[in-house]
Amino acid sequence: MNRPASTIDETTPAGGAPVSVTPIQREVGLSGAALPCWCGSGAWSLCFRTPKFGLVRCSACGTFQIDPPPLRADDESAEFYTGYYSKGHAPEVQAALRVSTRNAWFWRVAGKVPQLAEVRESVIDIGSGDGHTCAELHSAGWPSVTGVEISRSRVARARRMYPQIPFYDCPLGDTGISEESFDLMVMDSVIEHLPKPVEMVRDLRRFLRPGGTIVLLTPNMESGHFRFLQRRWTGMLAPHAHIFLFAAAGLSELLVRAGFRVVNSGSLHMPVCQPADYLKRLLAGDLKGAIWRAHQEIGGFYGRSIGAGPMLYAVATRP
């Protein structure tokens, strides 16, 4: 970032064109393939590098980035996630089994921000995955529920499980849906996948009605989990899929730049793992799994002690 142009060699990031590497970048451990930060200012400094990935942090806004990022442009996303989610997924559930559940993180945010529990007319889930959150909102009484998801394989699954709900496998702007159509927009675990998060959120804003609400959820880089586990927090760092990773102030600033007014933000904790889970892993001979689980739990306990859970949320309205 912002380095002199005296190129000494080139490196090729996943799915991208060769990128120049300067002597200074090499010296401080940067790959030279990092995207500019969404905030447009600041420089990257290296937090750590493993044989598989690096993590860098923006000096201006405190946002982190996987270096090199797994994707560099929005137009790579559909192919990437269609392949990514077409293998190793959970069995499809019967829609009837899910109607009364409230497993989505959204409901945990609604527990903190009561206005979200109020059913209005029209809600959309951006990055709707297999459609479970849409199904939960539908069964909560929302008259109009829509899902958008760029992974075609996941949309196909969602349509099979929840045929009563419209799911689109294209960007919202290509669906033909009118602007100012929605009262509520949910984006759970999406923003960390976007190469241009401000532009995307700003573009989504026009589909909300004035006074409408957006709810963002993303891994919390100030959590006890990350502070304790660092490079071992691989489940949430997910270097094979994530690009930008946020702290609370950065996420709120992003929403402001995209034209929103932030009304609430905070973090959510994971439920404590039951002793029976360890016992099950140990009885199955999965010592490594039990140790991994125990490490995650210590991160969780630390997070509770400092009031910083692994999932960050922000709630904002369109003025």
Complex with Zn ion: residue 25 or 151, whichever CB lies closer: 25
Complex with Zn ion: residue 44 or 233, whichever CB lies closer: 44
Size of the site for Zn ion (CB under 5 A): 7
Binding residue (CB under 5 A) for Zn ion from 42, 171, 259, 289: 42
Pairing of strands 144-148, 208-219: unpaired
Strand partners for 168: 148
Tokens 């006890």 locate to: 224
CA distance 277 to 292: 12
Complex with Zn ion: residue 1 or 93, whichever CB lies closer: 1
Complex with Zn ion: residue 7 or 41, whichever CB lies closer: 41
**H helical segments located in 7-150:** 23-27, 77-84, 95-98, 105-112, 132-139
Selected range binding Zn ion among 36-44, 174-182, 229-237, 269-277, rule: CB under 5 A: 36-44
**CA neighbor of 13 nearest in space, from 195, 196, 200:** 195
Which residues have a Cβ under 8 Å from the Cβ of 40 and sit 6 or more positions away?
none
Give how far Cα 261 sits from Cα of 59, 125, 257, 271, 283, Å.
Answer: 24, 20, 9, 30, 51
CB of 223 to Zn ion, least distance (A): 19
Tell me how many helices (H) and strands (E) the chain has.
12, 13
Give how far Cα 41 sits from Cα of 68, 71, 202, 251, Å.
Answer: 19, 21, 19, 15
Pairing of strands 311-317, 64-67: unpaired
Kindly state whether residue 36 participates in binding Zn ion, applying the rule CB under 5 A: no
Selected range binding Zn ion among 54-62, 84-92, 278-286, 289-297, rule: CB under 5 A: 54-62
CB of 54 to Zn ion, least distance (A): 16
CB of 122 to Zn ion, least distance (A): 33
Q: Mask: binding to Zn ion, 80-119, rule CB under 5 A, as x and -?
A: ----------------------------------------
Binding residue (CB under 5 A) for Zn ion from 8, 14, 28, 60: 60
Kindly state whether residue 247 participates in binding Zn ion, applying the rule CB under 5 A: no
In this structure, is the dihedral angle defined by the CA atoms of residues 300, 304, 307 and 313, taken in order, positive or negative?
Answer: positive
CB of 60 to Zn ion, least distance (A): 5
CB of 171 to Zn ion, least distance (A): 25
Looking only at residues 178 through 237 of this chain, which bind Zn ion when binding is defined by CB under 5 A? Answer: none
CA distance 189 to 93: 21
Selected range binding Zn ion among 30-38, 73-81, 281-289, 309-317, rule: CB under 5 A: 30-38
CA distance 223 to 58: 18
**CA neighbor of 2 nearest in space, from 50, 51, 37:** 37
Complex with Zn ion: residue 262 or 268, whichever CB lies closer: 262
Binding residue (CB under 5 A) for Zn ion from 58, 194, 214, 216: 58
Selected range binding Zn ion among 12-20, 61-69, 209-217, 251-259, rule: CB under 5 A: 61-69
Complex with Zn ion: residue 202 or 295, whichever CB lies closer: 202
CB of 63 to Zn ion, least distance (A): 5
CB of 65 to Zn ion, least distance (A): 9
> Inter-axis angle of helices 287-306 and 275-283, to 10 degrees?
160
Q: Which residues lie near Zn ion (CB under 5 A)?
A: 37, 39, 42, 58, 60-61, 63
